[in-house]
Structure 1
Amino acid sequence: MNTKYFDLINQTFYFPQEEFTLNKDTLLFHNIDLMKLVEEYGTPLKFTYLPQISSNINKAKGWFRKGMEKIGYEGKYYYCYCTKSSHFEFIMNEAFKNNIHIETSSAIDINIVEKLLENGKINKNTYVVCNGFKRDAYVENIARLINNGHNKTIPVIDNYEELDLLQEQIKGKFKIGIRIAAEEEPKFEFYTSRLGIGYKDIVPFYRKQIQENKKVELKMLHFFINTGIRDTAYYWNELLKCMKVYIALKKECPTLDSLNIGGGFPIKNSLAFEYDYQYMVDEILNQIKIACDDAEVEVPHIFTEFGSFTVGESGGAIYQVLYQKKQNDRENWNMIDSSFITTLPDTWAINKRFVMLAVNRWNDTYERVLLGGMTCDSDDYYNSEQHMNAVYLPKYNKEKPLYIGFFNTGAYQETIGGFGGLHHCLIPQPKHILIDRDENGIIATEVFSPQQTSDDVLKILGYDKK
C-alpha cells in the first residue's frame, strides 16, 4: 500500500517540481537542505532566498520581450517593483540589480527612494511612480524629490485635490499620471475602487485642470485591478474599458504615452498551481495593440507594478510540531512552536494559502491533522490547503521531531505582522535569515534578525526605559 507521506504527495501532484526536490526523506528548496538550516539556526525560522527575486524579475522581462517581438509591439516595457510588498533593504538591493523601476505608496517610501539614490542602487534614469492617497508628508516628499532634480518621478493623481497640492510645492514643470477607479469584481462588497478617478470623469478632469496647464505634463494612465492579472471575463472587460479611456485621452493629449497595468501576477500557492504567464502577457499586449490600431493611435509604453510576484516566492517559514492534542475522535491538532497570527498573518486575516510541506520524515506514514498556533486565540490555526480542508502530514511521534515549511511567503507578512514590534500574546518574532549564492553557486547564509527576546518586548511595553 502507498501509505507514506511521499506517496501522498507524489500521487496528488506532479512531484518533484522546479524548486522542490527530495534528499532521501528530507525536503530541498532550490537545492537547499532545509534540515541543515534547522540544525544550524533552530525554529521557528523565517528565511529569504534572494536569487529568486532576480529570477522572477527576469522571467517577466522575458515574457514581455517575447510578446512584443511576436506582434511587433512598438512601445517599451518598464518593470516596476511595488515596494509595499516588502520594504527591506536586502529586498531592494537584490531587486535593483536588474535595471528596474520603483512604485511607491506612501511618504516614507520617498525617503527609501532617496536612500537608494544616495547609495547608487537606483539612478536618474529610474522611474519613480508615486501611487496612493497623498497628503501633506507624501506631497512634500514627492515635491522634494522632483525639486532636487529627479525628473522621472511621476505622481499618479488619485483624487481631484492632489494636483493642486503638488503644484503648490513643485517648482517648474513636472509629469503626472492619472489613476482609473476601476469597477470591482461583481462578488466584491462595493462597486468601484476607492482609489482613482472614475472612467467617465477622466477626460473632463483633463480638460478642466491639465489641458491648458503649462506646469503639468500628463504622461501616464494607471489601471489597477485588485484581483490581479487573471484570465477572466471581468479582467478583459475592465482592460477594454481602460483602453477606451486611454484612446479618448490620447487623442486630446499628445504627451500621454504610457499605460501602467497595476495588479500583479499570481504566485504559486499550491503544488497544483497552474498559470500561463506568457499567454497572459501576449493577450494583454495584443488587446492593447488591436484597440490602438483600430483607433489609429500609437500604442503606449507598458509599465507593470509587480510586488508579490517579485518577492513572494523568495520567502519561507519553518516550524517544529511541538505536541499533538487529540480533541475528539476526528481532530488531531498539531501545535507549532510559533503563531500563524504573528508570523503568517495573511493565513489568518484573508485566508491566504501558501505551499505547505513536511520538511522531514517523508518516508513515514501520514495522518490528517489541523495546525494550531501558540496563542490563546481560536483563530490561530491553518487548514486552508487548496486541495483539501485538512492538512496531511507524517504521523506525530514525540520521539521523532517533525518540521513543516510554508513557502512563497515573502510578500507582506513582515509588514502586516509588525516586524520588530509587539505580537499577539507576546509570541516572539522568529529568527530571520538571508540565503544567497555567490558567482560559483555556493550557498551562503546570514542572520538578518535574531529571535525577539523578552527584553526586546519589555522595552517596547515600557517596563525597561533604559
Structure 2
Amino acid sequence: MKIKYSELIDQTLYFPTQEFNVEENKLTFHDIPLMEVVEKYGTPLKLNYLPKISQNIQRAKAWFKEAFEKHDYQKNYRYCYCTKSSHFAFVIEEAIKNDISIETSSAFDMDIVKSLHDKGKFDKSIEVICNGFKTDDYLTKISDMINSGFENITPILDNYRELDKLTESIDTTFNIGIRIASEEEPKFEFYTSRLGIGYRDIIPYYSQKIAEHPNARLKMLHFFINTGIKDTSYYWNELYKCLRVYARLKKIAPEVDSLNIGGGFPIKTSLNFDYDYQYMIDEIVSQIKKFCEEEGVEAPNIYTEFGSFTVGESGATLYRIVSQKRQNDREKWNMIDSSFMTTLPDTWAISRHFIMLPLNRWDDTYERVFLGGLTCDSDDYYNSEQHTNAIYLPVYNDTKPLYIGFFHTGAYQDTISGYGGVHHCLIPQPKHILINQDDEGNFTYEVFQEAQQPQDVLKLLGY
C-alpha cells in the first residue's frame, strides 16, 4: 500500500502546528487559504502576513515581563526592532504600533526614521539606537537629528573616532553607548568581532575621554554575539565577561543604566523546532540580577534588538513546480518557476533551512526529489529539509499542478538578493503581496509590488 504525503508528515513531524494546517488537502498558513491566494495572484509570489510581526513582539514582551516578576527585577525592559532584517515601511510601521524602539545600522536608516516622523508615525521622542561602523554621512545625520530635537537618539560607539566626530557637530547634551567587541566562537575564522571596542579598553577609554566630556553621557553598554542567544557555555561565558565590564563601569560611571544584549532569538526553520524562549529569558534576567548583587551595583535596564524574530516568521514565498527532470536512475529534479538565488539567497549563500511544504495534493503519494531553480548556476538548488537532508513531495504529474511554499522567509532575503534591480540570469523578481486582518478577522490583501517586467530590467541595463 502506498503511503500518502499527509501520512508521511503525520509520522515524521509535529503537525498540524499553530501556523499550519491542512483543509481539504490544501495547506493553510495562519488560516490563510494559500491555494486561493495562488489562484488569485499566481506564482512565484512573496507574501507577508503583517499580524505575525506584532504577535512576536508581544510574545517577547510577555516573556520578559514574566521573568522580571519572577526574579523581582526592578528595572525596565525595552524591545528594539533591528531594521536591517527588513527595511520595508510596512514592517516598521507594524512594529512601532507596539511601543518599541528602533535600532539602525547605516546612514540611510536615519533617512527612514526622519521619513516616518515626517509622515506622523511617531514624534521626536522616538528612541533610536544607532549601531554599526559609522561613516561621516551616518554621523552627520545622527548629529543633525539630535540637534533638531530627537532627544532619544543614542549612537553606540563602534570605535574611538566616532565620539570625536559627534563632539564636533552636536551642540547639546547627548547620550552615547559603547559596543563591546566580543570574542568569536573558537571555530570562527577570526578571534574578535570587528565591531565594537575591546573589553580591556573600555574602562580606560571612559576615564580618559568620556568621564569629563562636556556633552556626552554614557548610558548604555552594548553586547552581541553572532551565534545568537543560545544555551551554550560560549554564550554564558561572553555574557559574564560583558557583566564584569558593566559592573566595573557602573562603579565609576553611575550614569550608565542600560545593558543592551543585542538580538539572536531563533525563528522556526523546521516543524520540529524546539527552543525554550522563556527559559533563556529567565536565565538571562536571573544571571544579570545575581551578578549585579554580588558586585554591589545597581542592575541595568535591559534592551534587546530582535530583527529576524520580529519579521522572519511573517514571510513566505510560493512557487509552482513547472517540470521534472530525471538525470539518472536516482535523482529527480523538480524545477520551480523562479530562482532560489533571486528569491531565497540564504539557501545557497549560507545553506539556510526554511520550512518547506506543498500547498496542495496532500492525499497523493510522495517521492524523494531535489528542487532546482531556473538559473544556469549549479548552486541554484535547495536540498535541506527536515527529512534527513531529503525532500519529499507529492509525486509529480503533468496534469495535476503542484505548488510549494517556503515559510518564515521574511528576514534578510529581499535586501540580500536586492529588491528590484537586476538578478542572476535576469530571473525576474516575483509579485509581492501583504496580508492583514480587519476588525472582523477577515483577511485583506494588498499588492505591494508587481512582478518585475522585461522592460524594467532592460532599462537598468541600458537597453
Q: Same fold (TM over 0.5)?
A: yes
**Which residue is 1:248 aligned to?**
248
- One-letter amino acid matched to 2:260: N
Aligned equivalent of 2:233? 233
Deviation at 1:172, TM superposition (A): 1.7
Which whole-Å CA distance do the structure 2 matches of 1:178 and 1:384 have between them?
39
Task: State the 1:348 CA deviation.
Answer: 0.9
- Determine if the alignment matches structure 1 residue 71 to structure 2 residue 64: no
Equivalent residues of 1:228, 1:263 under 8 A apart: yes
* 1:372-423 deviation digits (Å, cap 9, x = unpaired): 0000000000001144222110000011000000000000011011101100
Please tell me whether residue 153 in structure 1 is matched to residue 153 in structure 2. Answer: yes
2:97 corresponds in structure 1 to 97
Local SS of the residue matching 2:55: helix
Distance 1:427 1:19 in 2: 30
**C-alpha separation in 2, matches of 1:131 and 1:208:** 23
Distance in structure 2 (CA, Å) of the matches to 1:11 and 1:386: 13
Aligned to 1:115: 115
**Equivalent residue letter for 2:328:** N
Question: Is the CA contact (8 Å cut-off) linking 1:2 and 1:8 kept in structure 2?
Answer: no
Does the aligned pair in 2 maintain the 1:97–1:121 contact within 8 Å?
no
Q: Quick check: 1:299 aligned with 2:282?
A: no
Distance of 2:387 and 2:151 partners within structure 1: 49
The corresponding residue for 2:426 is: 426
What does the per-residue CA deviation read over 1:406-462, in whole Å, with 9 as the maximum and x for residues that have no partner?
000000011011101100000000000000001111100010000000010011111
**Which amino acid in structure 1 is aligned with residue 165 of structure 2?**
L
Q: Does 1:207 align with 2:204?
A: no
Partner SS for 1:195: coil
Q: Give deviations 1:146-178, integer Å, cap 9, x for gaps.
A: 000111100000011111011111112110000
Moved more, 424-433 or 183-192: 183-192
Deviates more, 1:2-11 or 1:81-90: 2-11
CA distance in 1, matches of 2:433, 2:272: 28
Aligned to 2:287: 287
Q: Deviation of residue 125 (structure 1)? A: 3.1
Aligned to 2:378: 378
Superposition map of 1:126-137 within 5 A: 126-137=126-137
1:116 partner amino acid: L
2:274 and 2:126 map into 1 onto residues whose CA distance is 33
- Matches of residues 50-61 of structure 1 in structure 2 within 5 Å? 50-61=50-61
- Render the CA deviation track for 1:17-72: whole Å, top value 9, x for unaligned: 00000112110000010000010000000000000000000000000001001110
Q: Distance in 2 between matches of 1:2 and 1:435?
A: 37
1:358, 1:167 → 2: CA distance?
Answer: 56
Cα distance in structure 1, aligned partners of 2:233 and 2:393: 38
- Tell me the equivalent position of 2:335: 335
Instruction: Indicate the residue corresponding to 1:15 in structure 2.
Output: 15
Cα distance in 1 for residues equivalent to 2:417 and 2:267: 20
What percentage of aligned pairs have identical amino acids?
Answer: 64
Kindly provide the amino acid, as one letter, of the partner of residue 76 in structure 2. Answer: K
Asked if 1:259 corresponds to 2:256, the answer is: no
| TM-superposition CA deviations, 1:88-137 (whole Å, max 9, x none) | 11111111111110000000100100111122222333210000000111
Aligned partner letter, 1:174: F
Aligned to 1:165: 165
Q: Secondary structure at the match of 1:46?
A: strand
**What is residue 451 of structure 1 aligned with on the other side?**
451
- Rounded to whole Å, the distance in 2 between the matches of 1:214 and 1:46 is 51
| Counterpart amino acid of residue 236 in structure 1 | W
Letter in structure 1 aligned against 2:404: I
Q: Give the Cα separation in 1 of the matches to 2:261 and 2:117.
A: 25
Q: What stretches of structure 1 move > 3 A for 4+ residues in a row?
A: none
1:140: which partner in 2? 140
C-alpha separation in 2, matches of 1:387 and 1:130: 41
Distance 2:238 2:18 in 1: 34
Tell me if the contact between 1:375 and 1:425 (Cα under 8 Å) persists in the aligned partners.
yes
Aligned to 1:276: 276
Q: Which amino acid aligns with 1:287?
A: Q
Query: Alpha carbons of 1:387 and 1:214: their partners in 2 closer, same or farther (altered >3 Å)?
Result: farther
1:392 maps to: 392
Provide the C-alpha distance between the structure 2 equivalents of 1:119 and 1:81, rounded to a whole number of angstroms.
19
Counterpart of 2:343, as a letter, is: T
What CA distance in whole angstroms lies between the structure 2 residues aligned with 1:127 and 1:303?
12
- Residue aligning to 2:315: 315
CA distance in 2, matches of 1:440, 1:311: 24
The count of aligned residue pairs is 463
| Matched letter for residue 190 of structure 1 | F
Render the CA deviation track for 1:187-209: whole Å, top value 9, x for unaligned: 11111100000111110111111
Cα distance, 1:13 vs structure 2: 1.1
Query: Would you say the 8 A contact 1:227–1:263 is kept in 2?
Result: no
Using the size of structure 1 for normalisation, the TM-score is 0.98
Matched, 1:351 2:320: no
Counterpart-to-counterpart distance in 2, 1:174 and 1:279: 36
1: CA distance, partners of 2:381 / 2:388: 15
SS in 1 for 2:6: helix
> Separation in 2 of the partners of 1:388 and 1:156?
43
Question: Structure 1 stretches of 5 or more lacking a match?
Answer: none
2:103 match: secondary structure = strand
Partner secondary structure for residue 117 of structure 1? helix
The one-letter amino acid of 1:207's match is S
SS in 2 for 1:396: coil
1:220-274 residue CA offsets vs partner (Å, 9 max, x unmatched): 0000111111111110110011000000000010110000011320000000101
Give the letter aligned to residue 430 of structure 1: P
How far did residue 2 of structure 1 move?
6.2
